[in-house]
Structure 1
Amino acid sequence: MADLDRRGDGSGHAGGLATIRTSVPARLDRLPWSSWHWMVIVGLGTVWILDGLEVTIVGNVAPRLGEPDSGLSITTSQVTGLGAALYVLGACVGALFFGWLTDRFGRRRLFMITLGVYLAATAMTAISWTAWWFFLFRFLTGFGIGGEYGAINSAIDELIPSRHRGRVDIVINGSYWIGAAAGALLSIPVLDVSIFPADVGWRLCFGLGVVLGLSILLVRRNVPESPRWLFIHGHEDEAEEVVDDVESRVRRSTGRSLEEVDDEITIRQRRTIGIVTIARTMFGRYPRRTVLGLSLFVGQAFLYNAITFGFGAILANLFGVPADRTGYYYAVIAAGNVIGPLLLARSFDTVGRKPMISGTYLLSGVLLVATAVALWIGWLGAVTLTACWFVVLFFASAGASSAYLTVSEVFPMETRALAIAFFYAIGTAVGGISGPLLFAQLTASGRPSDTAIAFLIGASLMIAAGVVAAILAVPAERRSLEDVARPLSAEDADAASSA
């Protein structure tokens, strides 16, 4: 690595920063898989299990919270209405706020802070004694979870070798449904008043999230800062130290020697990237990729809301399934959401991004259309409808996970966390606001035709997103992040050398 320039230019570069050449990205990408990479996955990726656990638990405890002896003066509709809306709002605000901070101050600092916010807010929710306290900390819980998405996805993609990046992202984002299944099943005994009093069981449900979060925090403290973020922001020596340490750990755990690399990139370091520059990059330089990201997030948000919003009401109103039995059906579709990414993830790195992203979106949309038609003409019961959902979500879950993978890798390094946060906030807002407004009456009417219409709406948007992906998806498989989207700082260096 050689320093070529130490002058600031007044446009985001600070005095004392340099134009450097570094082989850090190539050194990270050529590493063999090791126990160190598993530590990164456990420390960072398992947070999606928390999100799934959190959302499912609240849905399951809502009826218990509305009971007079719950210890909290609140109604079930307030929990599922205002409480859910505040959680969604917190997630959107947290994603954008912490996403901006993550690009500015680093991945590690923020993924420790966001998990801390989640833990504190969840613990405070568990001791709620009045409605306003519950609502406040539902917002703050969402605030922390939303912040996790940008910090975690950017850190994972910048630490995982390029040949494994697709499958790792797909599996990690699909793990949300492990938490959802766990929440659905664990809430059954915990909410049983013959085991725990009515004012204790729901608090224990939230306590489960705190315990899991603390265990993740213990592992996460060993995950280093992204070397890619370090060398761009003027900490090239620390970036070298991190990669040296990782290489040493990989050699010890695998017993393999590491080949030398000569692939370098020239970077003109800068302390910060302005929000205007980030917006110009996303909408001016990469408009096709921005359209792709929006299409993928909106499509999966509508498909999932068509199925999961009013899930219990669909089973109860159409087929008479008791409310205390819907958790078992939910566990089945959650299993489909987990198994799909596990079995399909490898193909995103081998078959390729474009065919897999477009294929999973199109296939899940078409299968949901078939499910809607079968429901409309009376061919389905509770079990067969759930089986159809399982198959649809087997493919849809991998597709939805690929949306996060896409927006994480197709924009420059300096904008990555905020780009993830932006698209996550759009998808979450669409799912949490537009979805309920659109599907509430359709799924609660008790008429199969209305529910089928909800399915058709979600399916059509998923199919449309699949068509967009077939045209605009970027062939990013097994390619370095710097090759998929050249860092803005590298372009600065090119401009400086030609001046």
Structure 2
Amino acid sequence: MTAAASAPVPKEAGTVTTAVPARLDRLPWSRWHWMIVIGLGTVWILDGLEVTIVGNVAGRIAEEGSGLDISSAQITGTAAALYVAGACSGALFFGRLTDRYGRKKLFMVTIAVYLAATAMTALSFESWWFFLFRFLTGFGIGGEYAAINSAIDELIPSLYRGRVDLIINGSYWLGAIGGSLLSIVMLDTAIFPKDLGWRLSFALGVVLGLVILLVRRHVPESPRWQYIHGHGEDADELVDEVERQIEQEKGEPLPPPAGEITIHQRKSISFVEIGRTVFARYPRRAVLGLSLFIGQAFLYNAITFGFGAILITFYDVPTGSTGYYFAVIAAGNFLGPLLLGKLFDTVGRRIMISSTYILSGLLLFATAWLFDQEVLTATSLTACWCVVLFFASAGASSAYLTVSEVFPMETRAMAIAFFYALGTAAGGISGPLIFAKLTESGVVGDTVLAFQIGAGLMTAAGLVAAFLAVRAERQSLEDIARPLSEVGDRASQQVA
């Protein structure tokens, strides 16, 4: 058996030597990995569906007869900011629990929170109710970011980790396409009344979430989390079974694992140690993560929530037709990670992260100039955004990949949560609020300013990545950042 030689070998009380990381990293791509991708990755489709529906139905909910006394600016500004604030809070709350109690327990809990809050949003009867459950929906989604990204990176082999992570995060835009097209049907008053169509849009998100929940039951706990937290035998049994399945599928034995690691098992890690690790041991990586998240969060949260308002305000696009335009830029967003993702594993992280951020920033500056010259139509503006976001989407997805893989195993979920929350609070809460005010004014110069702020932050983040990005392509997570629980001289060698 391929696993026999790599079973955990006790060294002393609470200490175990295991080849689990090496065994996982040397696995060829298989049906088991597809199950992981489908079970965990499809949640971003839900997030994209949620955010896009809100952006596209804002005009309809604000109309008289929708069943809610609320303005379009409140939906794209206040409600959007509350959704992001909920996501930041949920990331921090559930991120801590994910590192302590395991990936699987938390990615089941967070999807349940999302489902309940979305269902309640569909039943909104007052603006305060709508605001409350937009916050709670974000709370569940934020928890998903921490639990899912950490689980994906710990289960996917190092050879494929970059492209898989990018494509999964980019699948958000498949949901955005669905949300855009769905809103066209749901906003057609010939099919659904004004006070019903937007509610059914949210209800369909619940249905999709229930399907994902059923698939997710079969996704296992991360073996990397298990062996550190005192479940070494469970980790070994799980990897044994996966190896048997893959050997049967491929019809040949697996190569031997590349090495072992000795771990002093522990149940939890304090906030003080997490902070010391992230900021004292890896200060350059902390600056990198924060820069990437602030740049992409401002750009994406501002434009995602405000694109429909721009089309309506400046180009007189009917409320029920904005979905067609958004579906186009959503397609460009998904194609970016899909077509460029492999290059993050082959060309390398530093070149690809910096170039996608800088190029998208420069293209956005050009779009702002064209918009200021008033030479763009609704169609040509959409085309410009499609090109900008083709590159920006790959860069934005790499922000999640970066903070997930460059910090030690014990802090992974909390690191994702922290940088997501801090970066998104800076750009994702202020972005929609500022952008809603600027686009609502109907003044071209105000919207140009919003474009330029987003472009400037993306370009600056790209320059930071050019100097600080970690060459993590095709490397084991344990080699990129030594586990804090690792025993021996190797554990103290890496500080950056």
Does structure 2 conserve the Cα–Cα contact (< 8 Å) formed by 1:376 and 1:449? yes
Instruction: Using the aligned pairs only, state the percent identity.
Output: 70
Q: Return the offset for 1:72.
A: 4.0
What SS does structure 1 have at the residue aligned with 2:11?
Answer: coil
Residue 2 (structure 1) aligns with: 9
Residue 388 (structure 1) aligns with: 384
Residue 113 (structure 1) aligns with: 109
CA offset digits 1:102-133 (Å, max 9, x no partner): 00000000000101111111122222333333
Q: Which amino acid aligns with 1:368?
A: L
What SS does structure 1 have at the residue aligned with 2:9?
Answer: coil
Does structure 1 conserve the Cα–Cα contact (< 8 Å) formed by 2:368 and 2:452? yes
Q: Return the offset for 1:491.
A: 4.8
CA offset digits 1:373-401 (Å, max 9, x no partner): 22223332221121111111000000000
Does structure 2 conserve the Cα–Cα contact (< 8 Å) formed by 1:233 and 1:269? yes
Q: Distance in 1 between matches of 2:144 and 2:302?
A: 26
Q: Please identify, of 281-290 and 84-93, the stretch whose mean Cα deviation from structure 2 is larger.
A: 84-93
Please list every run of 5 or more consecutive structure 1 residues that lacks an aligned counterpart in the other structure: 7-17
Q: Return the offset for 1:306.
A: 5.4
Q: Distance in 2 between matches of 1:135 and 1:440?
A: 16
Residue 324 (structure 1) aligns with: 320
Residue 14 (structure 1) aligns with: none
Q: Which amino acid aligns with 2:18?
A: T
Does structure 2 conserve the Cα–Cα contact (< 8 Å) formed by 1:268 and 1:492? no
Q: CA RMSD in A?
A: 1.9
Aligned residue among 422, 433, 457 for 2:453: 457
Residue 369 (structure 2) aligns with: 373
Q: Distance in 2 between matches of 1:372 and 1:226?
A: 45
Does structure 2 conserve the Cα–Cα contact (< 8 Å) formed by 1:119 and 1:213? yes
Q: Which amino acid aligns with 1:27?
A: R
After the TM superposition, which residues 49-128 of structure 1 pair with which residues of structure 2 at under 5 Å, given as runs?
49-128=45-124
What SS does structure 2 have at the residue aligned with 1:162?
Answer: coil
Q: Distance in 2 between matches of 1:333 and 1:390?
A: 4
What SS does structure 1 have at the residue aligned with 2:485?
Answer: helix
Q: Which amino acid aligns with 1:416?
A: R
Residue 154 (structure 2) aligns with: 158
1:411 aligns with 2:407: yes
Q: Return the offset for 1:311.
A: 1.6
Using structure 2 for the length normalisation, give the TM-score. 0.94
1:254 aligns with 2:250: yes
Q: Return the offset for 1:169.
A: 0.5
Q: Distance in 1 between matches of 2:480 and 2:293?
A: 20
CA offset digits 1:39-74 (Å, max 9, x no partner): 000000110010010111122233333344334454
1:184 aligns with 2:180: yes
CA offset digits 1:387-431 (Å, max 9, x no partner): 111111000000000000000000000000000011111232123
Q: Which amino acid aligns with 2:129?
A: W
Q: Please identify, of 82-91 and 261-270, the stretch whose mean Cα deviation from structure 2 is larger.
A: 82-91
Q: Which amino acid aligns with 1:408?
A: S
What SS does structure 1 have at the residue aligned with 2:263?
Answer: strand
Aligned residue among 474, 483, 487 for 1:487: 483
Residue 214 (structure 1) aligns with: 210
Residue 297 (structure 2) aligns with: 301
Q: Distance in 2 between matches of 1:200 and 1:469?
A: 46
1:198 aligns with 2:205: no
Q: Which amino acid aligns with 2:10?
A: D
1:443 aligns with 2:450: no
Residue 420 (structure 2) aligns with: 424
Q: Which amino acid aligns with 2:280?
A: G
Q: Which amino acid aligns with 1:301?
A: A
Using structure 1 for the length normalisation, give the TM-score. 0.93
* Number of corresponding residues: 485
1:353 aligns with 2:360: no
Residue 335 (structure 1) aligns with: 331
CA offset digits 1:179-222 (Å, max 9, x no partner): 11110111111222211223322221111111111111111100
Q: Distance in 2 between matches of 1:76 and 1:357?
A: 35
Q: Please identify, of 389-398 and 196-205, the stretch whose mean Cα deviation from structure 2 is larger.
A: 196-205
Q: Return the offset for 1:454.
A: 2.0
CA, structure 1 residues 79+373, in 2 after alignment: closer, same or farther (shift >3 Å)? closer
CA, structure 1 residues 184+235, in 2 after alignment: closer, same or farther (shift >3 Å)? same
Residue 12 (structure 1) aligns with: none
Does structure 2 conserve the Cα–Cα contact (< 8 Å) formed by 1:369 and 1:455? yes
CA, structure 1 residues 61+437, in 2 after alignment: closer, same or farther (shift >3 Å)? closer
